[in-house]
Structure 1
Amino acid sequence: MSDFFNNSDISQQQAEQVVSETLNNCDDGELFLENSKSESLVLDDGKIKNTSFDSSLGFGFRAVQDDKTAFCHSNIISKKSLNDASQNLVSNMNNGSNKVQKQSNPKRTNVKLYEDKDPIENKPFKEKVELLKKIDDYVRQKNPNIKQVTASFFGEHQSVEIIKSDNQVYKDQRPLVRFNVSVMMERNGKKETGSYGTGGRMDYENYLGSDNWKTICDEAIRQAEVNLDSKPAPAGEMKVVLGPGWPGIILHEAIGHGLEGDFNRKKTSAFHNLVGQKIAHENVTVVDDGTIASRRGSLTIDDEGTPTSRNILIENGILKNFMQDRMNAKLMKVEPTGNGRRESFEYAPMPRMTNTFMINGNHTQDEMIKSVDKGIFAVSFGGGQVDITNGKFVFSCTEAYEINNGKIGAPLKGVTLIGNGPDILTKVSMVGNDMKLDPGIGTCGKAGQWVPVGVGQPSILVDQITVGGTSI
C-alpha cells in the first residue's frame, strides 16, 4: 500500500480509478506522486553560514494525445484536488483527436541502481557540522596562504510513485548527496580560488567515511595553488587537448542537448536530419547511460516509469539515436530510452540526459600532448553557454596549461573555448584510453527545469578550436 494516501481522504484504489477514467481516451499519461526532502549546510571561515531544510509532497497529473499534453499539479493529495485535476485534463483533451493510440506501459525491471537509504536521516546533523569544522581546520593547516575556506553538504531523498491508466504502479526511492570544498589563497597580493566536489546516489558515509573527504580538500588546494602561478592566456585558433572526466561538460552542452528527442522531432536541432550520417571522427563514440550504479545521473526508472538504458548516440562517428521520453518516441516511431525526466511533481517530463560520455579510444594523453607544437591543455571547466539551434558554445576553463613543442608549460588564466558542437566533433583527431566520469557534481538546466546529471570522456585532441584569452 502506498504511503502517499495515508493522510488523505482518498485511497490508492480510488486514485487509480480516477487515473483510469481520466486517461481512458488518451494515448498516454500518468499520475506522478512525489515526496521529497532536502538539506544543505554551508560552513564559511569556520562558522556555519547557512543551513536549510525543505520538504515537498504533491502530484503531477498528465494526459497525452498525439503531440498535445495537458498537465496539472498540486501540493495537496486529496479527493478534491485529484478530481479537479482530472476535470481539467479531460476538458483540455476533448478538443483533441478522437483516435486513441494507446501506448503500452513500460516494462518492469528488477535492477536497482542505488540503495533505499535516506542520507538526511542516516547521519545526525551534529556529526555533519563537526565534520565541516574538521574540514576547515584541515585545509588551513595544509597551506598558510589560505585566507578563506567554504565547505558544504547537500543531501536529498526523493520517493516517487507513478500510476498508469491500467492501475500499474512504478516506485523508486532516490538518495542524492553532494560535498564541495572551495578555498581562496593569497600570495604576494594575488588572490586565486580552487574548488572541488563529489556526489552521487549514495549515503554521505560512502564519500566521507575513512577520511575520504581529505582527497576533496587536497584537490581544491591544488587548484588554487595552480591558479596562483597562472599567466594570461593566449587567444586565437589552435589545437586543444581536453582532459578526461569533467571536460565532458562540453560534450553534454554542445552536443548532448542537440540529441534530445523533442528538439529533433520539432527539427530545431542541428542534428535532426542526420541519423545514419557521419557527424564525427571515426574514433568518436558517445553514449547516454542511466544504468551506472550510484551515479548522480542514474535512475532505476525515469519519471514516466521507463527503465533507463545504455543508449548509443554516436557510434564510430555515425549518428545512431536520440534520447527519448514516451511522447516523442511515439511520435518519431521509435522506442522510449528511459530519458523522460522532470525536476519535480510540478513539471511535466521531457527528454533529458542522464550520464552522457564519450567512450575510450586507443591513444594516450602523452601522445596527444607530444603532437601539439603550440596549443592548450584544458583540464577543468566552469560555466558555459550553448545555442541549441546551431550548437554554438562558449566555455570558460578553471584549469588550463599552455602546450609548447609537445610539452605542458605554465598554467593559464582566463581561457575560454569557442566553437560549435557539430563542428568540434569533426575535428577530434585523437581519442584517449583514459576515460573518466566526472566526480558527481553535474546539474543540467532545460526549459526552467534542473536535474542531476553525469558527464565524462577520455582525453581528446581537437585539431582546431577558437581560444579566447587575455593576451595575443
Structure 2
Amino acid sequence: MSAAQALPNPAANPSHKRYFFEKFGITERLLERCLGEALSAGGDYADLYFESVTATSLGVDEQIVKSASTGTSAGCGIRVLSGERTGYAYTDNLSPERLLHAAKTAALIASGPAKEPIQGFQEKPLTDLYPVPLGGFDLDLAARLDLIQRADRAARAFSPHVIQVRSSYSEELRRILVIGSDGAFASDTQPLCRLNVFVIAKDEKNTARGNSGAGGRGGLELFTGSKSPETLAREAARGAILQLSAVPAPAGEMEVVLGPGWPGVLLHEAVGHGLEADFNRKKTSAFAGLIGQSVASSKVTVIDNGTMEGRRGSLNVDDEGSPTQETVLIENGILKGYLTDKLSSRLMGSANTGSGRRENYQCIPMPRMTNTYMLAGQDEPEDIIRSVKKGLYAVNFGGGQVDITNGKFVFSASEAYLIEDGKITAPVKDATLIGNGPEALKYVSMVGHDLKLDEGIGTCGKAGQSVPVGVGMPTVKLDRMTVGGTGR
C-alpha cells in the first residue's frame, strides 16, 4: 500500500473513534497487513469487522431476582469475496498473529483471481441517530432493578386476577470498526435497551397470558411516559385479563382490519423478507423479477428506513460500513427495488441500500431490514371499522411463519376482536391469519392516517442470525383474508 493509500491518522482526525486502537492495540499497519493477507489468494473484495459488546441483563420472577448478568465480548470477522464465493473466518483473539491467521483462512476459502486492489481509506462524517448516554452504560444495577420491580408492582396492583408476573431488562453497548478494501472506514457506538413484562391472569374457568415491552437505542431515559414500567405493566395485565373473557375466533374467509403499530410485523415477515436482495438474486423470492410491476394495491407504499432517530432498527452505518438510508420498496403498489448489501449490489448491478447486517462478528453480513413500515393513507380509522359488516380486528400479534419462496404466511393474533355491523364487539382467542404476502397486499382497500411504529421490541431472525428491527403501519383494511379459529 502506498503512502497515498495509507489509513487516516486518528490523531489528525478528532472525529474518529479510537476505541479499538487504544483498547486492543490495533494499529494502522496491522489493518493494512490483514487486508493484504485477505486478498493474497485473489479476490474481488475484503473487509474486517471489529466488534466489542458490553451487555447487562436482569430478571425478576414472582418478586424475586432470578437472574443478573453482565459481560463483555470482542472479536473480529474477516471476509473475502470472489465472484459469488465468500470466504469467512473470525477470531475472539485480537492479537496480530490470530488476525493474520484468520485473514489467511478467509483468503484460502474464497481464493480466485484478484480483480481489485486495496484502495485508500476515508472516514466519512456520519449522522448521529443515537447519542450514547454520558459515560456509556455504567454498572449501576440498582437503577435497572428499580425499573423491573416497579413493573412487577404495577402489574400485581392492576387486578386480583393477576397471579404471576415476570419482568426483565436488558441493554448492550456495541462498538464496531469496519475496514474494507473498497476504502470503507467506519466506526460506530450503538446503545440498545429493552424492558419486558409478562403476566399470567386466572379466573374461575380460564388462564390467560399478556405481555408488553418497549426499548430503543438509548438508556434508562427512554422509560418514561408511554414507555414507563407502570404503563407497560398495566398493558400486559390488561391483555391477559382481556383474554379471560375472549370467545373462540371464527374461521373462514372474511374482511380483516389490522390495527396500527406492532401489526406491521405481518408486513415485515410476509413482504419484507421477500424484498431482501439475496433471495431475489437467487430467484427464490416470490418478488423475484417483478421490479416495475404492480405487487400491491395502489394504496400501499412500503418503506425501509434505517435513519430514524433513536429507533431500535436504526444504525448510523450498517455492518459493512455503509451509511443506512431510507429506501422505498413499494410505491403506490409498484415494486421499486430490493434491500441490498455490498455483495448483492455488486452481483445484481444495483445501488447499495446500506442494508448489510449481521448478528455479531462470528456471522457474515446479509441484506436485512431496519425499520420497515407502510406509509399512512387518508382514511379515518373509525370509517375503516364502520365499513366492515362481519370481520376481525387484529390489534396485536404473537409468533408467525412465512415461506419466502411463495410468500405464504401464518400468524397468530394475541389480541383480536370481532367486528359486527361496523362495531368492535367481543375479544377473540386463538385467531390465526393465513395468506400469501404479495396477494394479501392486493386486497388492501383502506389505509388510515394513523401511522404508528412499534414500541421498540422487534427482533428479526434470518439464516440463524437475529438483529434488532422496527416495524409499523397505520390501520389497514384487507377485503379478503383467511382466518383460522375454532368458533363460528
TM-score by length of 1: 0.95
Counterpart in 1 of 2:370?
354
Counterpart in 2 of 1:339?
355
Counterpart in 2 of 1:51?
68
Determine whether 1:436 maps to 2:452: yes
Counterpart in 2 of 1:307?
323
What do residues 86-145 of structure 1 show as CA deviations (whole Å, max 9, x unaligned)? Answer: 222332333x24444989989834311101238973461022223322332222222122
What do residues 133-176 of structure 1 show as CA deviations (whole Å, max 9, x unaligned)? Answer: 23322222221221111111011110000112376521000000
* Cα shift at 1:66: 1.8
Match of 1:247 among 263, 280, 297: 263
Task: Report the 3-state secondary structure (helix = DSSP H, G, I; strand = E; otherwise coil) of the residue aligned with 1:246.
Answer: coil
Equivalent runs, 1:101-180 vs 2, <5 Å? 108-117=124-133, 121-122=137-138, 124-165=140-181, 168-180=184-196
Match of 1:69 among 86, 92, 101: 86
The residue identity in structure 2 corresponding to 1:32 is Y
Cα distance in 1 for residues equivalent to 2:386 and 2:323: 44
- Contact 1:106/1:307 (CA < 8 Å) preserved in 2? no
Determine whether 1:92 maps to 2:109: yes
CA distance change for structure 1 residues 451 and 105 in 2, over 3 Å: closer, same or farther? Answer: farther
Task: Report the 3-state secondary structure (helix = DSSP H, G, I; strand = E; otherwise coil) of the residue aligned with 2:100.
Answer: helix
Determine whether 1:228 maps to 2:244: yes
- Contact 2:123/2:185 (CA < 8 Å) preserved in 1? no
The residue identity in structure 2 corresponding to 1:470 is T
CA distance change for structure 1 residues 404 and 166 in 2, over 3 Å: closer, same or farther? Answer: closer
What is the aligned-residue RMSD (CA, Å)? Answer: 2.1
Task: Report the 3-state secondary structure (helix = DSSP H, G, I; strand = E; otherwise coil) of the residue aligned with 2:222.
Answer: helix
Counterpart in 2 of 1:78?
95
- Contact 1:119/1:176 (CA < 8 Å) preserved in 2? no
* Cα shift at 1:11: 2.9
Of 379-388 and 85-94, deviating more is 85-94
Match of 1:456 among 462, 472, 487: 472
Cα distance in 1 for residues equivalent to 2:224 and 2:171: 13
Of 138-147 and 26-35, deviating more is 138-147
- Contact 1:38/1:120 (CA < 8 Å) preserved in 2? no
Cα distance in 2 for residues equivalent to 1:448 and 1:174: 22
Task: Report the 3-state secondary structure (helix = DSSP H, G, I; strand = E; otherwise coil) of the residue aligned with 2:97.
Answer: helix
The residue identity in structure 2 corresponding to 1:79 is P
Task: Report the 3-state secondary structure (helix = DSSP H, G, I; strand = E; otherwise coil) of the residue aligned with 2:385.
Answer: helix
Cα distance in 2 for residues equivalent to 1:197 and 1:283: 30
Determine whether 1:276 maps to 2:292: yes
Task: Report the 3-state secondary structure (helix = DSSP H, G, I; strand = E; otherwise coil) of the residue aligned with 1:175.
Answer: strand
- Contact 2:179/2:185 (CA < 8 Å) preserved in 1? yes
The residue identity in structure 1 corresponding to 2:179 is I
Equivalent runs, 1:14-25 vs 2, <5 Å? 14-23=30-39, 25=42
- Contact 2:119/2:183 (CA < 8 Å) preserved in 1? no
Counterpart in 2 of 1:384?
400
Counterpart in 2 of 1:414?
430
Of 66-75 and 107-116, deviating more is 107-116
Determine whether 1:204 maps to 2:224: no
Cα distance in 2 for residues equivalent to 1:284 and 1:65: 38
* Paired residues, number: 471
What do residues 229-252 of structure 1 show as CA deviations (whole Å, max 9, x unaligned)? Answer: 211111001000000000000100
- Contact 1:109/1:307 (CA < 8 Å) preserved in 2? no
Counterpart in 2 of 1:27?
44
Q: Return 5+ residue gaps in structure 2 as ranges.
A: 1-9, 11-17
Cα distance in 1 for residues equivalent to 2:106 and 2:204: 65
CA distance change for structure 1 residues 120 and 39 in 2, over 3 Å: closer, same or farther? Answer: farther
CA distance change for structure 1 residues 325 and 433 in 2, over 3 Å: closer, same or farther? Answer: same
* Cα shift at 1:5: 4.5
- Contact 1:119/1:177 (CA < 8 Å) preserved in 2? no
* Cα shift at 1:371: 1.1
- Contact 1:364/1:432 (CA < 8 Å) preserved in 2? yes
Match of 2:306 among 290, 296, 306: 290
- Contact 2:260/2:395 (CA < 8 Å) preserved in 1? yes
- Contact 1:434/1:459 (CA < 8 Å) preserved in 2? yes
Task: Report the 3-state secondary structure (helix = DSSP H, G, I; strand = E; otherwise coil) of the residue aligned with 2:196.
Answer: strand
Cα distance in 1 for residues equivalent to 2:394 and 2:225: 31
Cα distance in 2 for residues equivalent to 1:306 and 1:388: 26
What do residues 438-459 of structure 1 show as CA deviations (whole Å, max 9, x unaligned)? Answer: 1100000000000000000001
- Contact 1:39/1:120 (CA < 8 Å) preserved in 2? no
* Cα shift at 1:273: 0.9
Cα distance in 2 for residues equivalent to 1:280 and 1:121: 44
TM-score by length of 2: 0.92
Give the percent of matched residue pairs that are identical in Structure 1 and Structure 2. 46
Q: Return 5+ residue gaps in structure 1 as ranges.
A: none
What do residues 263-295 of structure 1 show as CA deviations (whole Å, max 9, x unaligned)? Answer: 001100010110000110000000100000010
Determine whether 1:266 maps to 2:282: yes
* Cα shift at 1:28: 2.1
CA distance change for structure 1 residues 174 and 53 in 2, over 3 Å: closer, same or farther? Answer: same
The residue identity in structure 2 corresponding to 1:65 is S
Cα distance in 2 for residues equivalent to 1:165 and 1:8: 22
Of 75-84 and 220-229, deviating more is 220-229
Cα distance in 2 for residues equivalent to 1:50 and 1:272: 46
What do residues 416-452 of structure 1 show as CA deviations (whole Å, max 9, x unaligned)? Answer: 0000101101111111110000110000000000000
Cα distance in 1 for residues equivalent to 2:342 and 2:184: 16
The residue identity in structure 1 corresponding to 2:84 is D
CA distance change for structure 1 residues 302 and 255 in 2, over 3 Å: closer, same or farther? Answer: same
* Cα shift at 1:470: 1.1
* Cα shift at 1:254: 0.5
The residue identity in structure 2 corresponding to 1:431 is V
